[in-house]
Chains A and B, each alone.
Chain A
Amino acid sequence: MKSRYEAAKNVFVDSIDIDDYIELSSSVTAYKQLEHSMEKPLKMILLFGRPGTGKSILLNRLQEKLKHQKEIHYFDTPATNEKEFFHKLFKVLTKQDLPHNTEVNFSALVNFCKNLRGKREILILLDEAQMYGTEMMEKIRLISDSRAVKFVVSLHKTDDEDLIAKEHFQSRIWEVIELKNATQSDQTAYIHKKLLKKNLFEIANSIKEKDMKLIHTFTKGNFRECNKLIFTIFEICEYYDKNEPSKINYEHIPKRIIEMAALKLGYIHV
């Protein structure tokens, strides 16, 4: 027999599927801010935040929403080398594949972009930009100087990357949008909305306010951590539901199970 928790568990499988996007007050603010920044004649916009704060899904949503209005391209996976990146860029700009056994001439690419000014406005969303080296970022800046190509650069916020952001982008970036971890109310809304989207009302109601507080304490409002924790909670619930139903309360998820999940994920230790 299929457990009621199986479906709930799968809701929290971590993905950047646009269908999983949950509109929260904080994400709506960030989205509007980003949309507004893109309207400005800016060359580079930095989207900044710790891993799991929703940068990727925000870029994804932006592309999904604006793809019919603007020439927008989402580079989700960072190119492993410069050659690969310029191949991708060439394809975006020229709408053609690079001929076999040829390489992109960077100066020619910049000139090409300069010629596009006033004719086209291309928006490139660069996810995981911390993977690009300083030299590469410098070339991206030079392309953006053409004013025909605009970049939204998404960066993880770690101590090292903070340094990159400060040193490299400070003089080049025109707008910085920082995504922060969710507040408890935002995270509660996120969990509830995710479950309700899949019609899991009873399970959504079984997570009470104090449980939400505990979950927020463990995950510190990080969406990725939250997904992981809730997934594990429902996985444990699923086990009990199938094997030891006496140990589970369908009205209220026991604190014990939340703590067990936190122990398993290493948020707390014995």
Chain B
Amino acid sequence: MYDIKPLEETWKQYHKNKRKPYFLGALGLSILFIVGGVFFNAKNVSLPQLSMNSTGKFIKTTQMNESNVLLDGALSQIQLRKIDKIEQIKPVVKMHIDTNIEETMPTLPLVNDIPILDKEPIKKKQIHTKAKMKIISEKPRKKMHLNIIESSSVSAYKDVERRFIESHDTDDSLFLAKSYYRKGNYKKSEFWSLQTNKVNSHIEESWMIFAQSKIKLGHINEAIQVLKSYVKHSNSQKAKELLYRLRKN
């Protein structure tokens, strides 16, 4: 009988070597899965980050005097006053793009103005009621101005609504209120401005849209009540003005 111990040791070594490729394979697969998982997550996370970055580059400045227009529109609807001229909607989105691009692309097709992709606050607003939605570029400046009025995509609105339900971000609800008001869907604009007020009761614009939607829907007394109540705790000049006009007419 030969000594079995060295044979056992040899077998252990053999067994170890035999299992090595399986270990390596398993390790490789694990690494692959981890890398894949990280990459997948990074991709998911990076979408909004990218969009934020892009908005960082594409600084968006919308100049709107929306409340005036909305006010005028509301008043004209109930024919309290005749307005000589309806201003053109000139919502301007200023985007910092490479100058070369600006030169080669003076106008761009319609772009959806959806805050999903834009976390930057709207700085300036300027509305001109020219029904055609187009992109206006300001010439000499090294910025591209995009006139983005509304989204052509129904699903985009749905996305914003869904997101508001999750986040209660007043930017989203206010966007929806304004958009629906512009589209003439006053029921929805009333609803979304109310949602905005519920979350933050200090947004003047939202209160104005709420009141104006009520006016459009023919609920004048309710609008007056809303404005009175808002003026009482905010002393808003715009609300006062609208209230004054309503009472006068």
Residues of A participating in the B interface, judged by any CB pair closer than 8 Å:
235-236, 238-240, 243, 256, 259-260, 263-264, 268-270
Contact = CB atoms under 8 A, between A and B. Distances in A.
A260 B8 contact: yes
Nearest to A259: B11
Contacts of B11: 256, 259-260, 263
Interface string B1-23: 11010011011011101000000
Contact of B13 (A236, A238, A270): A270
16 contacts: A235-B1, A236-B4, A239-B1, A239-B4, A240-B4, A256-B15, A259-B11, A260-B7, A260-B8, A260-B10, A263-B10, A264-B7, A268-B14, A269-B14, A270-B13, A270-B17
A102 B14 CA distance: 62
B4 A259 contact: no
A134 to B, nearest CB: 43
A263 B7 contact: yes
Contacts of A256: 11, 15
Contacts of A264: 2, 7
Interface in B14-43: 14-15, 17
A238 B17 contact: no
B1 A259 contact: no
Contacts of B2: 264
Contacts of A260: 7-8, 10-11
Contacts of A243: 4
Interface of B: 1-2, 4, 7-8, 10-11, 13-15, 17
B7 A259 contact: no
A263 B9 CA distance: 11
A243 B7 CA distance: 15
A236 B1 CA distance: 8
Nearest to B3: A239
Contacts of A239: 1, 4
The 6 nearest A-B residue pairs measured at CB: A260-B11, A270-B13, A270-B14, A239-B4, A260-B7, A263-B10
A214 to B, nearest CB: 13
A9 to B, nearest CB: 11
Contacts of B10: 260, 263, 270
Given A243-B4, A263-B10, A270-B10, 4 more contacts: A259-B14, A260-B8, A264-B2, A268-B14
Contacts of A259: 11, 14-15
Contacts of B8: 260
A79 to B, nearest CB: 37
A3 to B, nearest CB: 10
B10 to A, nearest CB: 5
Contacts of B13: 270
A162 B4 CA distance: 40
B11 to A, nearest CB: 5
Contacts of B15: 256, 259
Nearest to A238: B1
A270 B13 CA distance: 6
